[in-house]
Amino acid sequence: MRRLILLCGLLLFLGTAQAQVRDFDRIVESGTLRVALYQNFPPYSYEQDGQPRGVDYELAKALAEGLGLQLELMWAPPGEKLDDDLRDYIWRGRVTAQGELADLMLRVPYDREFSYKRNELGELINELVVMFGPYQRERWQLAHDRRRLAEVPSIAALRQHPVGVEVESVPSFYLSSVQGGMLSRETRHYPTPQLAFAAMQAGEVDAVMALRGEVDWLLHEAGDAQLALAENAYPDMGRQIWEIGMAVHESNRQLAYAVEEQLENLILDGSLERLYARYGLRFEKPEQYQ
């Protein structure tokens, strides 16, 4: 039994030890840029009729082309925490994928506090990761059906109006607890924002709260003039606007510099804004480009 345990441990070590970071020269030599994108995450990265779609996919493709490379996608099922995802795709590798690493990962918070987060021993949790290249500002957004909820000037207007949210999401926790839980009885939980939105279309709920990009896309796809964006604020919510960027291994800063140069071109010439518009999304420039 002891030999079996040692053998299993050795196999586990070999699986993770295979993970190797490709430096910029090796990436260029290979002719491909390997990018990790979250799986089944519309409108950012998803598949439709067997083809990759989404604004993050389109951005990754444009960045690769700007570097003279072909895009190689690595679909990333989300882990329980972002730290897990960075470990699995940027610096250690997943055992189930033979330790293969991405060169670049998109949809990572561009946040100094998160970058320098430490564990209980005072060690940097993500010291092997460089987070850079903010390319979008994200927010929370509420949409409502005007046939049943004419307007939403404040969250108080949601009393006696059921609201659909994704289970275990920030909107779920917020609406269940804000102002002493006044909306908890009206909060309805669904596995995904798409199912919450479908419930609004079916008349099961009167509003939906999710990421602004998700709500914009769902409204765009629905094409129903009676489904509208609310303009209410979210008191007592904490941070309501944040920036989304990218990540590479800390040894691969040369790649980060090259990608950031391409990204700046796409933002400044309006290409990224036009890309977002094709999916019905509003594009808000990161602070450094405003």
Q: For the chain, what percent of residues have pLDDT higher than 70? A: 88
CA distance 209 to 231: 12
Per-residue pLDDT tens digits for 221-256? 999 999 999 999 999 998 889 999 999 999 999 999
| CA 230, 210, 109, 282 torsion-angle sign | negative
Q: CA nearest 90: which of 103, 81, 78? A: 103
Averaged pLDDT of the chain:
90
Strand pairing partners for 163?
187, 207
| Cβ–Cβ < 8 Å for 171, 140 | yes
**Higher local confidence (pLDDT), 148 or 4:** 148
Per-residue pLDDT tens digits for 147-203? 999 999 999 999 999 999 999 999 999 999 998 999 999 999 999 999 999 999 999
**Which region among 41-45, 74-78, 116-120, 125-129 has the lowest average model confidence (pLDDT)?**
116-120
Mean pLDDT of the 16-20 span: 57
- What DSSP state is assigned to residue 204? S
Judged against a pLDDT cut of 80, whether residue 2 lies above it is answered with no
**Which region among 80-89, 149-158, 258-267 has the lowest average model confidence (pLDDT)?**
80-89
CA distance 145 to 143: 7
User: pTM here?
Assistant: 0.88
